Amino acid sequence: MAELRNLVIVLGDQLDPDAAAFDGFQAGRDAVWMAEAAEESTHVWSSKPRTVMFLAAMRHFALTLGEAGRRLHYTRLDSRDAGDTLAAQLRHDVRRLQPVRLVITTPGDWRVLQAIKEVAATSELPLEVREDRHFYCSLPEFAAHANARKSLRMEYFYREQRRRHRVLMTDDANGIRPVGGRWNFDAENRKAFGPNGPGAVPRPVTFEPDPVTRDVIALVNSRFAGHPGRLEDFAWPVTRAQALHSLNAFIEERLPLFGRYQDAMWPGNPWLYHSHLSAALNLKLLNPREVVAAAEAAYEDGRAPLASVEGFVRQILGWREYVRGIYWTQMPEYLERNALGAREDLPAWYWTGATDMACLRDALTQTLTHGYANHIQRLMVTGLYALMLGVQPGQVHAWYLAVYVDAVEWVELPNTLGMSQYADDGVMGSKPYVATGKYIQRMSPYCRNCRYDPAQRIGDRACPFTTLYWDFLMRHEAALSKNPRMALQVRNAARLTGAERNAVRRRADAIRRGEAGVERHE
Ligand code: FAD
Ligand code: SF4
């Protein structure tokens, strides 16, 4: 048999036939390597929807590689000689296939990159790690941006990206300026629904599992039977064609109202005007440039208002690129950050949704059913509660990485540890996102059907968010008082009398001990 030159490693979140790892691929000399390793579903307690998302998309991608005539070595989770870890499988296959070189596009997970480097080193094989050009901003470009600044705020990075990639920019006699004369349309965006609710939101496109996906569902149900989440409603796009279909439907049907209702929540309605494209993007079924271009074109043709389009572009060209840069410039130390010294365990009901808090129950239930929650549910419901309860950031991170179909560490970790838990001491955000239950009351009708009252901070009906908010300010008073953006909140807490402070503390302790009835026993 002819010598195998390059063994091109393709991971579960690298399903792009145009990825850099394929550059120079020669059918007769090179081969692709893919493997389904149990460890990827067990190193955190990966939910069933998340595992199915990855495996179903991988198997469909493998079929397209076959159709394109690319030689492929693919190990299924249920094959007899499957290794438990990616590293074990790769080591085994390298010994068998004897390639001259390993080639990979930068993985989305620092841990996986280390494991592959280790296999290459112990097998005495050269490993070529190629830049992931799926992203607008390369890692060296982000590092240069970071090095030139004292603090790394998303807004400046985003403006730089807009200018550099000429997205929503006009160029006339007055120079290059943002379309509409402003960078930010928050004043028009981020509204709550009125009392009549979201009305007839277009239904998101769903995809009936085909035989390939059904096989994966059966496998995951038997192999990971005890893992969280359900699969009855699995309907995510797992091929590029399906992902494109989802993109087009979003642009036509939901983008016009995306901005206005970006931060709104509504019970029993997980989808609203969001795009639900994060998993397709993160698995590389979609390219961010085509997504941004489709949104920009909708604005130019008058199909969507500028405020919505800018709000959406900001998420992809701004936040998504920025968190990736944060991840790779801060790892591996970032994983260990715990700036607020949080020590509590994550409540067990995060894995079941069994709580009397209406907002959390809904966010957790839809998370476990669909592997999805919108950004505000992640940040201002599940994340906010964990932050104010004082849960160890590592446990919060493991939960977010496990439950969402779009969860890959490069994007999940900075959002969780940095933006949501403030464990990085302000690398990502200038202050912790903390609020009483009144924020949730303003953005949703959850509180109307909840046994708690967001206006009360003590007593049996006190909303746990509200109690924990005051407790958080008191516990971190010294550190937060140095932050000018928190000064007002800290001053308000300082006005509480000694008796009020003690009552808040006692109620917060009771919540932490699980004695305030927040856990629902069916
Ligand atoms: P939309 O609201 O329609 O937004 C459009 C797109 O913008 C998304 O598809 C996504 O690609 C991108 N985007 C929006 N916000 C962010 C952000 N903060 N960071 C990066 N990209 C963003 N996103 C993930 O893709 N994977 C994760 O594991 C993940 N974990 C998160 C954990 C926490 C604690 C928080 C607060 C946020 C997390 N996010 C994560 C970001 C965001 O919540 C999701 O991208 C979004 O909710 C996905 O739904 P959507 O596709 O409908 O997004
Ligand atoms: Fe959530 Fe508090 Fe409102 Fe209940 S009262 S829904 S716990 S914010």
Give the distance (Å) from ligand 2 centre to CA of residue 196.
Answer: 19
Q: Return mean pLDDT, the chain.
A: 95
- Atom of ligand 1 at shortest distance to CA of 312? 5
pLDDT at 522 > cutoff 60: no
- Atom of ligand 1 at shortest distance to CA of 274? 3
CB-ligand 1 contact for 317 (6 Å cutoff): no
The model's confidence at residue 1, banded by pLDDT at 50, 70 and 90, is low
Give the distance (Å) from ligand 1 centre to CA of residue 278.
Answer: 6
Structural contact between residues 329 and 145, judged by C-beta atoms closer than 8 angstroms: no
Mean pLDDT of 287-304: 98
CB-ligand 1 contact for 281 (6 Å cutoff): yes
Counting Cα atoms < 13 Å in the Cβ hemisphere of 138 gives: 8
CB-ligand 1 contact for 295 (6 Å cutoff): no
Q: What is the pLDDT of residue 416?
A: 98
Mean pLDDT of 446-460: 96
Give the distance (Å) from ligand 1 centre to CA of residue 382.
Answer: 14
Mean pLDDT of 70-91: 93
Q: How far apart are CA 71 and CA 44, in angstroms?
A: 32
Substitution site in 440, 466, 469, 518 for ligand 2 pocket (most atoms within 8 Å of beta carbon): 440
Q: How far apart are CA 39 and CA 41, in angstroms?
A: 5
Substitution site in 263, 411, 434 for ligand 1 pocket (most atoms within 8 Å of beta carbon): 411
**Nearest residue by C-alpha to atom 1 in ligand 2:** 359
Structural contact between residues 501 and 491, judged by C-beta atoms closer than 8 angstroms: no
pLDDT at 269 > cutoff 70: yes
- Atom of ligand 1 at shortest distance to CA of 281? 11
**Nearest residue by C-alpha to atom 6 in ligand 2:** 447
**Nearest residue by C-alpha to atom 3 in ligand 2:** 447
Classify burial at 390, counting beta carbons within 10 Å of its beta carbon; exposed 0-12, middle 13-18, buried 19 or more: buried
**Nearest residue by C-alpha to atom 8 in ligand 2:** 437
Q: What is the pLDDT of residues 348-382, one digit of tens each?
A: 999 999 999 999 999 999 999 999 999 999 999 99
pLDDT at 88 > cutoff 70: yes
Give the distance (Å) from ligand 2 centre to CA of residue 455.
Answer: 10
CB-ligand 1 contact for 323 (6 Å cutoff): yes
Residue 286's closest CA among 340, 317, 255, 246?
Answer: 246
- Atom of ligand 2 at shortest distance to CA of 438? 8
| Residues with C-beta less than 6 Å from any ligand 2 atom | 357-359, 437, 440-441, 446-447, 450, 452, 454, 463-465
Q: What is the pLDDT of residues 158-200, one digit of tens each?
A: 999 999 999 999 988 888 999 999 999 988 888 999 988 998 9
Substitution site in 266, 441, 451 for ligand 2 pocket (most atoms within 8 Å of beta carbon): 441
Q: How far apart are CA 206 and CA 217, in angstroms?
A: 16
CB-ligand 1 contact for 411 (6 Å cutoff): yes
Give the distance (Å) from ligand 2 centre to CA of residue 462.
Answer: 9
**Tokens 């390939």 identify what position?**
212
Q: What is the pLDDT of residue 301?
A: 97
- Three-state SS string over 66-113 comes to HHCCCCEEEECCCCCCCCCCHHHHHHHHHHHHCCCEEEEECCCCHHHH
> Within the chain, what is the greatest distance between any pair of CA atoms?
82
Q: What is the pLDDT of residues 8-23, one digit of tens each?
A: 999 999 999 999 999 9
Q: What is the pLDDT of residues 205-229, one digit of tens each?
A: 999 999 999 999 999 999 999 999 9
Q: How far apart are CA 294 and CA 249, in angstroms?
A: 11
**Nearest residue by C-alpha to atom 15 in ligand 1:** 315
- Rounded to two decimals, the pTM is 0.97
Q: What is the pLDDT of residues 140-151, one digit of tens each?
A: 999 999 998 888
Substitution site in 266, 356, 357, 376 for ligand 2 pocket (most atoms within 8 Å of beta carbon): 357
